[in-house]
Structure 1
Amino acid sequence: MLHSRSTPQAKRQALRAGLSEAGLLRLPGAFSPLAARSIERAGFEGVYVSGAVLSADLALPDVGLTTLSEVAGRAQAIARVTELPTLVDADTGFGEPLNTARTIQILEDAGVAGCHIEDQVNPKRCGHLDGKTVTPLPEALRRLRAAVNARRDPSFVICARTDVRTTEGLDATIERAKAFADAGADLIFPEALAGAAEFEAVRKAVEVPLLANMTEFGKSELLPAATLRDLGINVVIYPVTLLRLAMGAVTEALRVIEADGTQAGLVERMQTRAELYDLLDYSGYTAFDEDVFSHGYQEER
């Protein structure tokens, strides 16, 4: 009710503990706080906040138009409602190394468990599109070190993402992964790897935990969780999956209403009122203090 009972530090420690254990942490992308509640209830290990999803939800392309304030605000709203750790896409850190340092502290204040910083040049592009430009390695390392040095809570997880696979190849990806690990990254995110063999190559080259991005319509093969687990991957994100499914349903619903003149044919596909109220813990709010005010409701469809 209202806020999760776990503290931000407890969630960060849970994420770190998960990274240190054998197994795979699965983080679907939440496009809203309510979606984060559903992710938790479904039994996943964490929640992901995608920059591409936040941009799309604002009807913007994923080209670096969102601001630190917008990302931190959405991340805070999502982290507030779930007991799960939340990992956030912080793009390129929203500016120069000093801006990156501020980004880390703002996201710490937002209550999230960690974030990833990438090595693209601003304005960035989606990691699975062509035409990207990456920063030279020394500059990427300055950005990462700024993030590491700015961290106040040592439990806050700093993930380093590299986009060099599609610009310079797998060997350059491995080189950067090693350099990022040496610079203090807790987690490495090699973006747009082609398939299992490439994940295996990076896994053999670095000792720190690895993150796999299983996004649809991209450059990576959609590998099952069991395969990623066998490869030794520590975290998998499904960043845009829920948004794509939701928007597909929205598009179809609007088509039906426009064609039929009513939503009656869609009712059986909807989350019921009772199911929504249950997810919101409506009864918990009612029971909190009925002497002050009752939010009484009926469990109806």
Structure 2
Amino acid sequence: MNPVVGVAVSVADKRAALRAGLDSGRLQRLPGAFSPLVAKVVADIGPPRFEGVYVSGGALAANLGLPDIGLTTLTEVAASGAQIAAATDLPTLIDADTGFGSPLNAARTISVLEEAGLAGCHLEDQVNPKRCGHLDGKSVVSAADMVQRLRAAVSARRDPNFVVCARTDAAGVEGLHAAIDRARAYADAGADMIFTEALADVAAFEKFRAAIDVPLLANMTEFGKSPLLTTRQLSDIGYNAVIYPVTTLRLAMFAIEAGLREIHSAGTQSSLLEQMQHRDRLYALLRYQDYNEFDTQTYNFTLEGG
């Protein structure tokens, strides 16, 4: 039975689904959601449905009016992640930046994100303050420091199905071979999956796959350093998961800007109606009718006497 308030799938089952998906041999597709409502749309598209939801640190920062340079806090990220994860029965993977500090902070990050209902997170090997992975000027910590960060994170995990993913930004800083060496070390340190950030061509994706035994995650962000590979291409290479981190935010912001310009110039939004989500569709996503029926069935008593 699907409850009206909340979803029918437990957090433990969501984590198990993500873990099983990464081992299934089928590419797990995780579009980015910057709000619970967007997550509901992700879960509603199909069949077949997307396999999960991704929460981008860059998108969350932008939604707060901030650049993606490590300004958001663990509290802000966990709170937003909890709301998004609770909105659907899909597993949610979240961007945990560098772990928000020292290895001890990375350990606490895992505990907090587990409590928040996330199915997994990724930690990166950049220094603080971090940069968007597709910008120049990045710096990475030593491989030894990142291994320490990962070991602390893995040690704090209570649910073995909570996925700890290691992201390496080293390809654009130290070169592809160094990034692959780091990825091997990160897997040895306990990372369940490797996030291969900002690879420049198909050959680089193929070299990572040939060299690494654990699941791999590809980032198909727009306007970045990586080519936009199709799901078929990524599947053929042997990748296990793909994220589209900021796609929904970019689509929404483009439409919002265009609409506001039209209102500014025309003095009315009447020409935009065909480009808007209809009230009926929004109500369907939010399950207004289910809430109404629940309310009627629950509060159907009458008071007698005085």
Range of TM-score over shorter length:
over 0.9
Q: Percent identity?
A: 61
CA contact (8 A) 1:195 1:223 kept: no
Amino acid at match of 1:21: S
Amino acid at match of 2:164: I
Inter-partner Cα distance in structure 1 for 2:64 and 2:5: 25
Inter-partner Cα distance in structure 1 for 2:255 and 2:34: 15
Inter-partner Cα distance in structure 2 for 1:183 and 1:226: 31
1:232 aligns with 2:235: no
Q: Give the corresponding residue for 1:2.
A: 5
Q: Give the corresponding residue for 1:44.
A: 50
Q: Give the corresponding residue for 2:304.
A: none
TM-score normalised by structure 2 residue count: 0.95
Deviation (angstroms), 1:190: 1.2
**DSSP-derived class of the 1:3 partner:** coil
Amino acid at match of 1:179: A
Inter-partner Cα distance in structure 2 for 1:247 and 1:2: 29
Equivalent residue pairs, number: 294
Inter-partner Cα distance in structure 2 for 1:163 and 1:106: 24
1:122-141 maps to which residues of 2 (within 5 A)? 122-141=128-147
1:31 aligns with 2:34: yes
Amino acid at match of 2:84: I
Inter-partner Cα distance in structure 1 for 2:107 and 2:236: 35
1:85 aligns with 2:91: yes
Inter-partner Cα distance in structure 2 for 1:135 and 1:78: 31
What does the per-residue CA deviation read over 1:221-244, in whole Å, with 9 as the maximum and x for residues that have no partner?
Answer: 000110000000000000000000
CA contact (8 A) 1:2 1:81 kept: no
Deviation (angstroms), 1:144: 0.5
Moved over 4 A (4+): 291-294
Deviation (angstroms), 1:289: 3.2
Q: 2:59 aligns with which of 53, 58, 81?
A: 53
Q: Give the corresponding residue for 1:206.
A: 212
Inter-partner Cα distance in structure 2 for 1:111 and 1:3: 12
Deviation (angstroms), 1:3: 1.2
**DSSP-derived class of the 2:172 partner:** helix
**DSSP-derived class of the 1:290 partner:** helix
**DSSP-derived class of the 1:189 partner:** strand
Amino acid at match of 1:63: I
1:101-120 maps to which residues of 2 (within 5 A)? 101-120=107-126
Q: 2:199 aligns with which of 193, 199, 213?
A: 193
Amino acid at match of 1:30: A
Indicate how the Cα distance of structure 1 residues 267 and 124 shifts in structure 2: closer, same or farther if over 3 A, else same: same
Q: 1:11 aligns with which of 9, 14, 19?
A: 14
Instruction: List runs of 5+ in structure 2 lacking aligned partners.
Output: 301-306
Deviation (angstroms), 1:195: 1.8
Inter-partner Cα distance in structure 2 for 1:56 and 1:130: 19
Inter-partner Cα distance in structure 2 for 1:76 and 1:5: 16
Inter-partner Cα distance in structure 2 for 1:163 and 1:203: 16
Amino acid at match of 2:140: V
Deviation (angstroms), 1:292: 4.7
Inter-partner Cα distance in structure 1 for 2:206 and 2:90: 28
1:142 aligns with 2:148: yes
What does the per-residue CA deviation read over 1:33-79, in whole Å, with 9 as the maximum and x for residues that have no partner?
Answer: 00000001112110000000000000100000000000000000001
TM-score normalised by structure 1 residue count: 0.96
**DSSP-derived class of the 1:131 partner:** coil
Inter-partner Cα distance in structure 1 for 2:242 and 2:197: 12
1:289 aligns with 2:295: yes
Inter-partner Cα distance in structure 2 for 1:213 and 1:159: 13
Inter-partner Cα distance in structure 2 for 1:57 and 1:293: 38
Amino acid at match of 2:17: A
Inter-partner Cα distance in structure 2 for 1:268 and 1:66: 36
Deviation (angstroms), 1:2: 2.6
